[in-house]
Amino acid sequence: MSSTFAPIDPATIASLNAGGERALEQIFREHYPWLLEKALERLKGENAAAPRLIIATVREFWEERDGFHTSAEIEAFFSEELRHRARAIRARMTAVHRFEKAEGVHVPPPSSPPSVDALWAEISTALHQPVVDAATAAKRRREHRSHEVAEHINTVTQRTSWKTPAIIVIVAAVVALGGAWWFSQLSRAEVVNQLLGSAEAQTIVTRAGQIGSATLADNSVARLAPESRLVVIPRFGSDYRTLSVAGSAAFHVAAGNSNAFEARLGDITVRSNGGAFSVRDFADESHRLVRADSGSLEVILPNGSRTLAAGEAIQVDRAGQAATPSDAAATQGFSWTNGLFVLRDVTVPDAAQALWRWYGMDVAVTDSTAAGRTLSLSVPLESSQGAISAIETAGQVRFVYVDGKMTFQPARRR
């Protein structure tokens, strides 16, 4: 049975605003079943990460405690924060699972979730850690994220081998005798990887319902779709013009720089010397898309490279296999760059998920009849009401509130 978010009384919220940890504990304990259910739902199979996701979300809630005034605001915060953080976790774990598949590693199913007491003990401990400056906190967060993935890989790949001690000895000898020389011989790709992961790299993030734009140091312009992230290399435009993209972005590349403009989508690099191009790489989608809007592009793949002329596009699956997308796929993938909300042959739940991404609206589809219907539409992106009306018409559903929640239900028969 689906859990509901129990209303929080004004006195508890006021105590939370004033820094009352007992109020936080009360809110957490009363809403743990709801938080756990939502975390598992957002993680889409990455159940082992649920405790870490909940702890991170509650810590962020505590940091922002003085900004909440109603129970509805708290519920909305938890819902969005869980969704946002879960998407990042799924993106990181995609690479881990590719590694597991390549190595033939079997991962045992996760154990049952921890009790509310056990999780609160971890949250309470985390709340009393020493306060650090912003730069140190950012560095620790990056180290923690890397540790989480590394810990997972270590857990699922422990194998006894005579080679391990020998490898350790060899690596130690190399570091001791020639560490400085080795680092001086790093390839360009390795240097860029280190710079993108450095504390000086700039991160630009959009959340659900937000479309952002930024003028980069070389005067190139980037537009970001909702739920997207750019990581821009330090001193962008001088030695390198490289950034990484998660989500979707459109670039107008400034010409006249001796360094090529590079956008990385995981193991794909898109290279441009001028013109405009668009990319799409959402972790929950099976393919990545690249389109040359003006000028030509070089798309460097794990197993080769392709050149795209203006108007051409390429799609690459998670295994690195490239193909030419259909016009419909390219149109839907980059419709936001033309101010359109376009869906093609999707289910009503998928349409509801798109509403969250593009409008920040959390609409549930609990009726099996409504969930089984498919639809296509194309409407201006500027109006959420227009998008909802189009889904109602195309999907033969109606937008209604049920117990205070936005839902799509089957349309009434006339």
pLDDT band at 395 (very low <50, low <70, confident <90, very high): very high
Q: Are residues 293 and 402 in the same domain?
A: no
Q: Would the pLDDT of 98 be above 90?
A: no
pLDDT band at 94 (very low <50, low <70, confident <90, very high): confident
Q: Are residues 149 and 222 in the same domain?
A: no
Q: Are residues 182 and 214 in the same domain?
A: no
Q: Are residues 127 and 150 in the same domain?
A: yes
Mean local confidence (pLDDT), 319-333: 91
Specify if 2 maps to a domain: no
Phi/psi-derived region of residue 336, left when phi > 0, alpha when psi is between -120 and 50, beta in every other case? alpha
Q: Are residues 127 and 178 in the same domain?
A: no
The H or E element containing residue 110 is none
For the chain, the first-to-last Cα distance in angstroms comes to 32
How much is the pLDDT for 130? 58
Q: Would the pLDDT of 288 be above 60?
A: yes
Q: Are residues 243 and 318 in the same domain?
A: yes
Q: Are residues 212 and 270 in the same domain?
A: yes
244: DSSP letter: E
pLDDT band at 238 (very low <50, low <70, confident <90, very high): confident
Instruction: Determine the Cα–Cα distance for residues 15 and 11; give it in Å rounded to an integer.
Output: 6
User: 73-77, 236-240, 293-297 — which one is most confidently predicted on average?
Assistant: 293-297
Q: Would the pLDDT of 16 be above 90?
A: yes
How much is the pLDDT for 214? 92
Mean local confidence (pLDDT), 163-182: 43
How much is the pLDDT for 224? 95
Q: Are residues 175 and 146 in the same domain?
A: no
Specify if 248 maps to a domain: yes
Specify if 298 maps to a domain: yes
Which of 27-36, 188-197, 232-241, 268-277 has the least mean pLDDT?
188-197
How much is the pLDDT for 405? 86
Q: Are residues 204 and 287 in the same domain?
A: yes
Percent pLDDT > 90 in the chain is 50
Select the more confidently predicted residue: 171 or 400.
400
Mean local confidence (pLDDT), 87-96: 74
Residues 279-290, buried b or exposed e (16+ Cβ, 10 A)? bbbbbeeebbbb
Give which of 294, 257, 299 is closest to 276, Cα–Cα.
294
Q: Would the pLDDT of 8 be above 90?
A: yes
Q: Would the pLDDT of 132 be above 90?
A: no
- Structural domain boundaries enclosing 179: 163-189
Q: CA distances (Å), 217 to each of 255, 372, 410, in order?
A: 13, 48, 50
pLDDT band at 160 (very low <50, low <70, confident <90, very high): very low
pLDDT band at 254 (very low <50, low <70, confident <90, very high): very high
Q: Are residues 150 and 228 in the same domain?
A: no
How much is the pLDDT for 177? 45
Specify if 5 maps to a domain: no
Mean local confidence (pLDDT), 387-402: 95
pLDDT band at 237 (very low <50, low <70, confident <90, very high): confident
Mean local confidence (pLDDT), 34-38: 92
Percent pLDDT > 70 in the chain is 81
How much is the pLDDT for 359? 92
Specify if 108 maps to a domain: yes
Neighbours of 67 (CB within 10 A): 10
How much is the pLDDT for 320? 87
CATH number (domain holding residue 380): 3.55.50.30
Q: Would the pLDDT of 3 be above 80?
A: no
How much is the pLDDT for 162? 40
Q: Are residues 116 and 34 in the same domain?
A: yes
Q: Would the pLDDT of 150 be above 90?
A: no
Specify if 1 maps to a domain: no
Locate 306 and state its tokens: 């392709």
pLDDT band at 183 (very low <50, low <70, confident <90, very high): very low
Q: Are residues 31 and 151 in the same domain?
A: yes
- The answer to whether the beta carbons of residues 369 and 401 sit under 8 Å apart is no
The H or E element containing residue 258 is none
Q: State the chain's mean pLDDT as an integer.
A: 83
Structurally, how many domains does the chain consist of? 4
How much is the pLDDT for 199? 80
| Listed residues 333, 356, 374: the one ending a domain | 333
Instruction: Determine the Cα–Cα distance for residues 395 and 408; give it in Å rounded to an integer.
Output: 10
Instruction: Determine the Cα–Cα distance for residues 127 and 301; give it in Å rounded to an integer.
Output: 44
Mean local confidence (pLDDT), 284-311: 93
CATH number (domain holding residue 256): 2.60.120.1440
Q: Would the pLDDT of 161 be above 80?
A: no
Adjacent-strand bridge partners of 308:
297
Q: Would the pLDDT of 133 be above 70?
A: no
Instruction: Determine the Cα–Cα distance for residues 354 and 370; give it in Å rounded to an integer.
Output: 16
How much is the pLDDT for 46? 86
Specify if 4 maps to a domain: no
Instruction: Determine the Cα–Cα distance for residues 178 and 134; give it in Å rounded to an integer.
Output: 35
| Listed residues 278, 312, 333: the one ending a domain | 333
